[in-house]
Every structure is written in structure tokens, then in C-alpha cells.
Chains A and B, each alone.
Chain A
Amino acid sequence: MPAAPLLIKRESKLGELIIKMFTYPFMLRAFCVGSLVALCAALLGVTLVLKRYSMIGDGLSHVGFGAMAIATAMNAAPLAVAIPVVIAASILLLRLTESSKINGDAAVALISTSALAVGVLVISMSTGMNTDVYNYLFGSILSMTEQDVLLTVLTSAAVLVLFILFYNRIFAVTFDETFARATGMNTGLYNTVISVLTALVIVVGMRMMGSLLISSLVVFPAVTSMRVCRTFRSVMICAAVVSVVCLNVGLTISYLYAVPTGASIVLCNMAAFALFCALGYIVPQVRERLQSSGKTI
């Protein structure tokens, strides 16, 4: 029986590798920070996707790229520059969309390409394309500092607390803004809070996922869980779980096969989406069959 020992050997090798993975402090940091970012991005993502603001994450990450390029050229701390700039951009986007002078998607395209153009110009005039720039675009778990970890923990705590406290109001604003405003809710305030938090999550997540891929953390979990879940609460919970699981699996794969982190996380999200699409097709049929058999019995 040569097959069985081989299997055990391979399994133990995989286990060893995974255990070894956690002994590296940068990996441990990546798992903690990544899970927190994934959790927050998923929660905010449900609201953004339902409000038809899916591309806002993409737009803001390009703004973040521009800001980081400028910060590098000026030798400033990247996050210290990026955070206020991206928050300002997100509020500007919201205002542009609300005043409906420019369509929401057009506004996102305008702002994101402008920021990207500024970033590219600044880079070509200062450092040129180097590893730092590559990391901003495609992400790197090695580039995360202690400061990033602290900031992520604080941001995530803020997102979670606000979500729990304002859960019902966020639902009302997402489902029907006009009704919410007519019944005396300050919808402008809630929209601003949501866009500021989105900006923070995007900036923090960018270091790991890269500015080109971070918006997948916002959009994928929400869309995935909507394939199967049928209430707002379950969509939220499911999106959070899917997002964190996909991030951890993706991170592990990226470590084991030495592939870019952001890309492998996005591919995991894609796999989860395919799985949930299939489930969304099967579950209603099973439910119907169960109901009809229940009636005949």
C-alpha cells in the first residue's frame, strides 16, 4: 500500500507549511489586517452595491494611488497623505452624485482617471517605475508596517461599531432614501459616514490588495451572498463570512505557491461567486421540492 503513506506524508507537509507560515510575523500581520479589512469592506460593500455605487471603491483606490505617488515623491508618509485625500475625494463624489449635475458613474470615471494621470506624471518625474510603485498597483503583504496595522485595527473598530449602532438606519437609507428623509432621517449624514468609512477601508486595504484590485473586496462578497441570501441581515452576515474566508484562503494560496496576494484573493472570491451562483440555482428548487413533498405527506 504505497498510496496511503504518501498521502499522509503530503498532508503533513502541507500542515507543516501552514504552521510554519504563522511563525513569520509578516504573515501573521497580513492575516490579522487582511481579515479586518475584508470584514469591513464586505459590510460597506453590501450597502454600496445595493445603492449602485459599486465602482466607487475602484475610483477611490485610483485616487489613493495618485496620493501615494505624490507622498513618495515628497518623501512623506504615504498613509498620512492618502487618507485625507481619499476622504475628500469620496465626499466630493457623493456631492457630485447627489447634486446630479454629473452622473454617478461618470463622476467616478472623471475622478479616478484624473488621479491616476496625476500619479503617473508624478512617478515619471520623480522615481520612475520601481518596486514601490509596483506594490501600490498590485499590493504586497511585505509593505505593511506597524503603523498600518494600528490604523487598520482602529478603522475596523470604527466601522464595526458604527455598523452595529446604525444597522437599522443604514438599512433604511439603502432601501429607500426618499422615505428615510421624509420621516426625518438625516440621510446626508449617513451617506457621508458611509463614504468616509469606505475611503478609510480602501486606503488601508490598498497596501495589501493593490489599488487595481481592492474594489473586488467591496463588490464580490456582497454580490456573492446576494445569490443565495434573501434578507438584508443574512446578506450582511454571509458577505462578511465569505469575505474573511476568501481572504484567508487566498492569502494561504499566495504563500504556498508564491503568487501575488491580491490576485489570488480575487480568484478565491471568484470561485466563491461561482459556487454561490450554483447554490442560488439549486437551493430554491430544493426548497420547493421540500415544500411540495411536505404538503403531500
Chain B
Amino acid sequence: MPAMRMSMSLIRCENLSFAYDGVTVLRDVNFSVEDGDYLLIIGENGAGKSTLMKGLLGLKKPAAGSVEFGEGLTSTQIGYLPQQTQVQKDFPASVSEVVLSGCLSGMGLWPFYGKTEKAAQSMEVLEITDLKDQCYRDLSGGQQQRVLLARALCATRKLILLDEPVAGLDPLVTVNMYKLIDRINKEMGITVIMVSHDMQAAANYATHILHLGEDRQLFFGTVREYRHSASYHKFMGGENAVRIWRKGSDNEETRRYHAGRAAADKEGE
């Protein structure tokens, strides 16, 4: 019964395409996200990751295809963690002011914050309760990211969408950030969609991968399937290539890389 399964998915994208001023930047994207999944969206710069995110959030209308949301979810009920802007870095606001602003979407037309338990709970989960009266601009990069993640949690019950959550963080903070996101996924049962460059580390936690390249979808499936796919080897090959070329010798590794690359190209065609 395919119709039944369709309604079960939290998000289902079919033949989704996006265009700017008539130029298609992403075409025929097909994937679905189930409750509790941890989807990693990867791809090089300009592969259309940000555009896809905007499409899921309802900020950009698709040129073709559809985004369907499952029961109890609309595009405005997604907890979104955007990339930080220059404006925010020196913004005079306390941590609790920022976190509370995530609760606005649940308020309807009412002008003031009512219950604030959700904000308190999110700050508890992200271990920033003791920072709540601190000024946002005085925090470290990792703390700021946790504040914005707490705000995203306030805005949702089911799904968070993270745009490069570890960009600019140092390795130790990055690991902690990934652990926190994993806890939100496993313990709170919140579905995670994450865009990241950091394929290796992120893949340790993700359940599914969506690989975008140039202007189309190269792969969608579970992490296990992805490890055996051509696009994985191509993607990883691209990173290894620098290391191999630096060695400058015609060793086993180089030969395997070129063979893999040729196979991947063939598959791509």
C-alpha cells in the first residue's frame, strides 16, 4: 500500500526542482524522512544544499515537484539553526532573550510570552541554563551555537534543520556539538536534518545520507548503502586526492583512486 506509506513520512520530496531567475540550480530531488531519522545532506559548494533547505523551510518556492509534510508538521514548525550572520556576533541580547524568541511561532497573535517551560527545558538539554543572563556576544562560538540550537528546539516538536552547525568551531567543540545533536535525536526523539561539509564525523551519527552534486541528486539512502556507493568514493576521493598528489608517487593508493574515480564517472553518466 504505497499510499499509506506516503502519509507516514515526516517529509517527502518528489521530483523537487528549484530555479533562480529561470536557471535551474537543483533538479529532480527525491527523498523522504521518517520520524526519528538523522539525515545528512552533503555536497560541494554550489550543489544546491542551501536552496534545498530554503525549500523545506518554505522560504523558496519549488520550480517543480512537491514537498509534503506528514501529520502534525508544517514548514513553519521546523526548528531551524541558520548559519550565524555578522549582525548577530555583536548583538546585545541575553541568552534567555534569544532562546525565548524561538517560542514565538507557537504564540499565534498573542503579543507576550506565556509559558516558558519549553525554553527552560531546551536550555537544560543544551547545558546553557547557567549562561541564561549572559550577553550573547560575550559567548564563545560553541556556546553561541548551543544557544541558537536551544532556540531551534523551542520552535519545534518534531524536526530540526541544521545548516553547517559546526562551521568555524574547533575540533573538541565540534565533537561536543555532534554529541549534543545526537542526544537530541536519540533521547528526545527529534528528527534531524543536517547540512554539513564534515562528512567523516557527521556520518558517525547520521542514519541517512543525501548527496547533492552540481545541480542534481547523486545519492539518497542509508549510511551503510552510501559507503558502498560510487558517489561516496568520488566524494572521498576528491578529498584524498590532495594527499595522494602531494606524495607524488605512483603507488597502490593512487591507482585505486583513479580506478574508483573512473568507475564513478562511468556510473555518473
Q: A residues within 8 Å of B by Cβ?
A: 50-52, 164-169, 171-172, 175-176, 178-185, 226, 229-233, 235
* Cα A51 to Cα B86 with chains together (Å): 10
List residues of chain B with CB within 8 A of the CB of A230.
92, 94, 135, 138
Partner of B155, one of A167, A181, A183: A183
Minimum CB–CB distance for B69 against chain A, Å:
13
* Cα A199 to Cα B118 with chains together (Å): 38
3 nearest CB pairs, A to B: A184-B76, A230-B135, A183-B105
Q: Which candidate, B9-17, B95-103, B119-127, B211-219, is the interface stretch facing chain A?
A: B95-103
* Cα A165 to Cα B109 with chains together (Å): 10
Contact between chains at A183 and B102 (CB < 8 Å): yes
Contact between chains at A182 and B97 (CB < 8 Å): no
Task: Say whether B146 faces chain A, with CB atoms less than 8 Å apart.
Answer: no
How many residues belonging to B are interface residues under a CB distance threshold of 8 Å?
32
Contact between chains at A231 and B101 (CB < 8 Å): no
Contact between chains at A182 and B98 (CB < 8 Å): no
Contact between chains at A175 and B112 (CB < 8 Å): no
Task: Say whether B85 faces chain A, with CB atoms less than 8 Å apart.
Answer: yes
Partner of A231, one of B76, B78, B97: B97
Contact between chains at B76 and A183 (CB < 8 Å): yes
Task: Say whether B45 faces chain A, with CB atoms less than 8 Å apart.
Answer: no
* Cα A175 to Cα B82 with chains together (Å): 12
Minimum CB–CB distance for B82 against chain A, Å:
5
* Cα A78 to Cα B85 with chains together (Å): 41
Contact between chains at A180 and B104 (CB < 8 Å): yes
Contact between chains at A232 and B88 (CB < 8 Å): no
List residues of chain A with CB within 8 A of the CB of B87.
50-52, 175
Interface centre among A176, A178, A180, A185 (most CB of B within 10 A): A176
* Cα A101 to Cα B80 with chains together (Å): 27
Q: B residues within 8 Å of A by Cβ?
A: 57-59, 74-78, 80, 82, 85, 87-88, 91-94, 97-98, 100-102, 104-105, 111-113, 133, 135, 138, 151, 155
Contact between chains at B111 and A166 (CB < 8 Å): yes
Cβ-closest chain A residue relative to B163: A178
Cβ-closest chain A residue relative to B135: A230
Cβ-closest chain B residue relative to A169: B104
Minimum CB–CB distance for A220 against chain B, Å:
16
Partner of A182, one of B59, B93, B100, B133: B59
Given contacts A52-B87, A171-B97, A175-B93, contact A181 B59 (CB under 8 A): yes
Partner of B91, one of A175, A178, A182, A233: A175
List residues of chain A with CB within 8 A of the CB of B155.
179, 183
Minimum CB–CB distance for B67 against chain A, Å:
14
* Cα A236 to Cα B112 with chains together (Å): 17
Besides the known contacts A183-B102, A232-B91, 19 further A-B residue pairs in the complex with CB atoms under 8 A apart: A50-B87, A50-B91, A50-B92, A51-B87, A168-B104, A168-B112, A168-B113, A172-B101, A175-B88, A178-B80, A180-B101, A182-B76, A182-B80, A182-B82, A226-B92, A230-B92, A231-B92, A233-B97, A235-B92
Minimum CB–CB distance for B88 against chain A, Å:
7
Interface centre among A51, A229, A231, A233 (most CB of B within 10 A): A231
* Cα A235 to Cα B77 with chains together (Å): 30
* Cα A176 to Cα B105 with chains together (Å): 14
List 22 A-B residue pairs with CB atoms under 8 Å apart, sorted by A's residue number: A50-B87, A51-B87, A164-B111, A165-B111, A166-B111, A167-B111, A168-B104, A175-B93, A175-B101, A176-B101, A178-B59, A178-B80, A179-B151, A180-B101, A183-B78, A183-B105, A184-B105, A185-B104, A230-B138, A231-B92, A231-B94, A232-B94
* Cα A167 to Cα B101 with chains together (Å): 11
Minimum CB–CB distance for B163 against chain A, Å:
9
List residues of chain A with CB within 8 A of the CB of B91.
50, 175, 232
